[in-house]
Amino acid sequence: MSTALHAPNAPVTDTAPPRLEARGVTMRFGGLVALKDVDLAVGSQEIVGLVGPNGAGKSTLFAVMSGLLKPTAGRVFMDGQDVTGSSPQKRAARGLSRTFQHPELFSSLTVREHLVLAYRMKNAKSRIWTDLVNFRGFFSAPKTEDTRVDELIDSLQLGAIQHQPAAGLPLGSARLLEIARALAREPRVLMLDEPSSGLDVRETEEVAEVLKAVVRDHGVSVVMVEHDVELVLGMSDSVHVLDFGVKIAGGTPAQVRQDPAVRAAYLGEEIEKPAVQRAEAEIEQGETA
């Protein structure tokens, strides 16, 4: 069964500023330039993929955008508001939610309880502590909370395991739970750190399908760091490629797939030699023969 979810975000017109934007971001760690003058924008209900070889600067850009790191230069904006100096908590209050590469779940709480807790963090903070000492007071939840949690469980296809404790969940389910938990906070932008890490092909496909449905049903924007290039190219509206801290390409998956610099630097393919170079090489070979 699939329940239509109410989109928590008001529709945004085409002229609206990006939901999340990095502008001219440079990050230095001592003498090392981890990011150099990088731009990246995440529009309304857009899926944006960020890829690049190891050490390219993806995690650093993620940290700058989520507020864990303050850039050496450049700015970060949410809906046109400068949030460069804002903490991760303040950005969360503005509608930024993120997952981590290694799901950080409470082993004894059930799948459903994780979502109830996350929902209350956003909507009813004062109830969290009374419920925790009130013998699983989670069960006396108000209707709107139940409805919202049911919607998330349905949307992320967690129904069959909703009463299981997080301990012992397969990694694919744990990742879906992490995404559901991030969505329970009703974000405008969801940042995903390696959503397919450690998953097999079937689980990766499942996560990709669920993510596409999430964007459609929740009206949320997604930006993800991901090593699985095919996954990113297959599901993103736009893809950005970092190499040695520099953004070497950005565009639609088709544009990025064809980009010679990406193919050379990232996909390990040689750029086809221009005709002149080929001719020169042939002459050289002829002379030495």
Ligand X SMILES: Nc1ncnc2c1ncn2[C@@H]1O[C@H](COP(=O)(O)OP(=O)(O)OP(=O)(O)O)[C@@H](O)[C@H]1O
- Is there binding between residue 57 and ligand X (CB under 6 A)? yes
Sole window of 50-58, 131-139, 156-164, 255-263 interacting with ligand X (rule: CB under 6 A): 50-58
CA distance 102 to 175: 8
Task: Output 32 or 275, the one with its CB closest to ligand X.
Answer: 32
Task: Output 5 or 35, the one with its CB closest to ligand X.
Answer: 35
- Is there binding between residue 31 and ligand X (CB under 6 A)? no
Q: What are phi and psi of 83, to 5 degrees?
A: -115, 15
CA distance 88 to 260: 37
- Is there binding between residue 191 and ligand X (CB under 6 A)? no
The single residue among 19, 36, 44, 58 that binds ligand X, judged by CB under 6 A, is 58
With contact defined as beta carbons under 8 Å apart, do 48 and 222 qualify? yes
The single residue among 15, 54, 107, 130 that binds ligand X, judged by CB under 6 A, is 54
The single residue among 11, 14, 15, 32 that binds ligand X, judged by CB under 6 A, is 32
Q: What is the largest CA-CA distance in the chain?
A: 88
Contacts with ligand X: how many residues (CB under 6 A)? 11
The single residue among 22, 40, 56, 214 that binds ligand X, judged by CB under 6 A, is 56
Tell me the residue type at 138. Answer: F
Give me the least distance between CB of 198 and ligand X, in Å please. 14
Sole window of 26-34, 40-48, 148-156, 255-263 interacting with ligand X (rule: CB under 6 A): 26-34
Q: Looking at residue 159, what DSSP letter applies? A: G
Sole window of 17-25, 55-63, 210-218, 270-278 interacting with ligand X (rule: CB under 6 A): 55-63
Lookup result for tokens 């981590």: 100
Q: CA of 62: how far to CAs of 27, 88, 100, in Å?
A: 12, 12, 11
Lookup result for tokens 């046109």: 80
Residue 195 burial by CB count (10 A; 0-12/13-18/19+): exposed, middle or buried?
buried
- Is there binding between residue 55 and ligand X (CB under 6 A)? yes
Residues that bind ligand X (CB under 6 A): 29, 32, 34, 52, 54-60
